[in-house]
């Protein structure tokens, strides 16, 4: 039987007791109907799995006692930042959820010339909190113990200014090279070289966007002959990168 897993925003240590957050209590006690003594896995983003036991169930919540700590084995060896142009509706939720499952270490929502979604500061902050919740739930589901870092939405030039070296720089481009040609056999040290992958909006990257990316050293990556939606393209590229360079090999 799979042991339920939940994130808590506390320091965790063997032998201590921790109050479970309300959302976790709702799921564990009312949905899963776990009894006292049930086994749990807790994590707080530090890369460690904390085996715990459910105790002190009450009307207002429950506590867990931490019994054992062990390194989490689900973290990808690659350090991938997905720079995703803001997409409409629930598409960004899908991207954040699935990119987390595919092992990204960071997500940078970007605004390009053809991006249709425009967020003021207040809405951007609300969306950021929401996306972090989506990522947390995805980590619980897929077994990760590290939350990906989700940046505040920013214009493409601001994002490019923050990309450091050394770095493998990729942008999805229908005129680029296929993953096998661009990545296979590439001398690559995942411990030292992060990967930045840029995905354009629904209308694609403009000539100005493409020129900025070329000037910043981004190489074009082509994903076959079919046109993929923005919420599909980045996820397909992440799968290709994990297959050729990461832990899908």
Residue 27: what pLDDT?
86
| Contact yes or no for 148/238 (Cβ under 8 A) | no
At 135-180, the pLDDT tens digits run 999 999 999 999 999 999 999 999 999 999 899 999 999 999 999 8
Distances (CA, A) of 75 to 49, 82, 143, 242: 12, 16, 9, 12
Residue 170: what pLDDT?
97
End-to-end CA distance of the chain: 28
Residue 56: what pLDDT?
84
Cis peptide before 166 (omega within 30 of 0): yes
Distances (CA, A) of 247 to 75, 105, 108, 162: 9, 14, 22, 27
Q: Which residues of the chain have pLDDT under 50?
A: none
Residue 32: what pLDDT?
87
Residue 89: what pLDDT?
79
Distance CA 168, CA 170 (A): 7
State phi, psi for 233 to the nearest 5 degrees.
Answer: -60, -50
Structure tokens, 77: 């060896």
Residue 210: what pLDDT?
97
Alpha helices by DSSP H, 9-90: 22-25
Residue 176: what pLDDT?
95
Domains of the chain: 5-71 (2.40.240.20), 80-245 (3.40.1280.10)
């Amino acid at each position: 039987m799979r042991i339920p897993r939940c994130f808590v925003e506390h320091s965790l240590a063997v032998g201590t007791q921790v109050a479970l957050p309300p959302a976790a209590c709702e799921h564990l006690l009312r949905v899963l109907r776990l009894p006292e003594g049930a086994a749990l896995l807790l994590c707080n983003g530090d890369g460690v799995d904390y085996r715990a036991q459910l105790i002190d169930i009450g009307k207002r919540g429950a506590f867990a006692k931490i019994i054992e700590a062990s390194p989490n084995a689900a973290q990808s060896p690659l350090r991938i930042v997905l720079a995703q142009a803001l997409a409409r509706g629930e598409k960004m939720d899908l991207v954040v959820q699935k990119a987390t499952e595919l092992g990204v270490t960071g997500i940078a929502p970007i605004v390009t010339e053809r991006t249709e979604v425009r967020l003021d500061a207040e809405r951007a902050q609300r969306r950021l909190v929401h996306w972090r919740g989506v990522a947390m739930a995805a980590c619980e589901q897929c077994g990760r113990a590290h939350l990906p870092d989700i940046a505040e939405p920013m214009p493409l030039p601001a994002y490019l200014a923050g990309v450091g070296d050394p770095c493998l720089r990729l942008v999805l481009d229908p005129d680029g090279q296929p993953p096998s040609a661009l990545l296979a056999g590439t001398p690559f040290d995942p411990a030292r070289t992060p990967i930045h992958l840029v995905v354009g909006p629904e209308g694609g990257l403009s000539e100005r966007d493409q020129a900025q990316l070329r000037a910043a050293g981004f190489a074009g990556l082509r994903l076959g002959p079919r046109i993929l939606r923005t919420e599909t393209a980045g996820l397909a590229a992440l799968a290709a990168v994990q297959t050729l360079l990461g832990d899908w090999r």
